[in-house]
Structure 1
Amino acid sequence: MGAVFFYELQGAPLEVTLPMLLDKARAQGWRVLVRGTDAALLAQLDEALWHGPVEGFLPHGLAGGPHDAAQPILLGDGPAEGFACVMAVGGAAVTAEEARQLARACILFDSDDSAKAAARLQWKTLTDAGIAAQYWAQEQGRWVKKAERDARSAD
């Protein structure tokens, strides 16, 4: 059973934080689904990943192409099947059932009230289901763990 890490995007935008997390996930050998429900956001992230620094290139694809199954990182809104890690962006959800099957799930959310409320609801839903979770936020340019809940049996 994996854990879910929540990242509140306070200091660095999604286009900066996501590649850092993807790089760490790929270093673990994980195949990653970047799950989003907004096609425009996924297209924007696709462009950002293609046009990032050469030394930071992350091989990836936008779902719907002929080679989706071979992509080490796929941006789309599909199921977690076949992936070791899901990174949910733009309010996309990760279910407790999925989290149990993944090595890791990451929920990246903005620091506005609406996004924080949605993240709090996901935190409660997942931790109530016995999923381990960590909450990370930026302080002075560094990621700091603000909260942690260990995995436990759901009552």
Structure 2
Amino acid sequence: VRTVITELKVGEALVSLLMADGAPSPVERTLIAPPRSRVGPVTPDERATIVNASLYGGKYDDGVDRESAWELLNSRAAETAAKTETEKVAALKAKLDASAAAAAEKQAAAAAKAAAAAAKVAARPQPKSFAEKMIESTARSAATSVGRQLAGKFGGQLLRGLLGGLLK
């Protein structure tokens, strides 16, 4: 290998390649083709000729924007979120309907209770007017006063008579 390195000419190199099983092949002397380039841009006609001659000439002319995995996963996540939100809204609506029904039952019970209380109040004797109360109070007071005076006179005489008869 040392002698070969010193004998290499322009465009030659020592190359070792990998074999099919992955092991390196023995070093060999190889001729390297010189670059075929030019300084300057390619003309549009040359570019078209090269593209048309290529196996992939027309295959990649049109851009294709397919749906990516990220877009697919996001759309699935959005659908799942919308479905979950719809279910939550339905559950909340059912809960609100149940609470509204319970509130309506409570209100109906309160209305029935109020109606029963109103019927009970209506069954009571109506309160008297102020004038009727004054007349009734005056009559009661007069009757009490007369009763005390009569009871006082006759009660005292009766008591004296009884006690006097007992003490004699």
Q: Same fold (TM over 0.5)?
A: no
- The bucket for the TM-score relative to the shorter chain is under 0.3
Higher relative contact order, chain-length normalized (CA < 8 Å, sep 6+): 1
Q: Which has the larger radius of gyration?
A: 2
TM-score, scaled relative to structure 1 = 0.14
1 or 2, which has the higher helix percentage? 2
